[in-house]
Amino acid sequence: MNTDSLTPGLKAEILSEALPYLRRFHGKTVVIKYGGNAMTDERLKRSFAHDVVMLKLVGINPVVVHGGGPQIESALSRLGKQGTFIQGMRVTDDDTMSVVEMVLAGQVNKEIVELINTAGGQAVGLTGQDGNLIRARKLLLPDREKPGQTIDIGLVGDIEHCDPAILRTLTGHRFIPVVAPIGSGSDGQTYNINADVVAGKIAEVLQAEKLVLLTNTAGVLDREGRLLTGLSARQVDALFADGTISGGMLPKISSALDAARAGVNAVHIIDGRVDHCLLLELLTDQGVGTMISSS
């Protein structure tokens, strides 16, 4: 969205269109899962940081949870390793976990914090280990081919408990939390947790107004590849049952559905390849993805 090419009248129209949304969401929390192309394309990275800072400045409280799949793959490749996925989840052995921690908590988290700060915000980076935000336990996936059995995918965690106190402290003092999806178990073991799952749980415990998941697709598509702009929980269940939702979208849509059922008013799965997709989805009549409603 190049605002330089807009006429003054059109700019005024856009601002006027945003007014009811600004009024409705003022003081509310929006949890944003940041990933996909928006994390790797320089123009989209700047656009995302701009949107997050603007949301904060107009009185909305953004909380960012990020992934880092491409960066982890690149680091593993340099070590001669290749990532393996089962049901959309990364198989994580000890060596892979070391890389995940280094990339997510070190490289990616710090880069996002710097992007937001450069755009005029006050971001603070943390992992699920900070402030005891996320207590994790080992995740065992149900084996779909052998009912009653499970698949061990290594040091991958599920969320046992989420304490949002540190997030409330930060958002209440002008800061924008940026969370890497790593948590610790009661035994002190560190776990890699799917970022969509972390974003969904944080939205749930904060009773967020919205959960926004950035993707590399236009949103949720039907079997013919057509965008489904609005879905209910029941319709999402049907898409799971007939196999329309599969692969890497499984944890994303599952966490979205759990958040919607737990009280998050709406979940938006949006196209992160679109400039200023956050502002377009949240503050204008023009949606750029799929909305799953709590009803």
Annotated binding site for substrate: 68-69, 90, 192
Q: Is the dihedral of CA 25, 26, 31, 33 positive or negative?
A: positive
Q: Is the dihedral of CA 54, 57, 59, 65 positive or negative?
A: positive
CA distance 185 to 182: 10
Report how far Cα 237 is from the mean position of its chain's Cα atoms: 21
CA distance 289 to 125: 28
Q: How many angstroms separate the Cα of 79 from the Cα of each of 20, 70, 238?
A: 51, 14, 41
CB burial string 216-227: b at 16+ within 10 A, e below: ebbbbbeeeeee
Structure tokens at 93: 């052995």
Tokens 């073991």 correspond to what residue?
Answer: 189
Per the CB < 8 A criterion, the answer to whether 31 and 63 are in contact is yes
Q: Is 157 helix (H, G, I), strand (E, B) or coil?
A: strand
In degrees and rounded to multiples of 5, residue 243 shows phi and psi of 85, 5
Amino acid present at 65: V
Q: Is the dihedral of CA 85, 86, 87, 92 positive or negative?
A: negative
Question: Residue ranges for the binding site?
Answer: 68-69, 90, 192
Amino acid present at 197: V
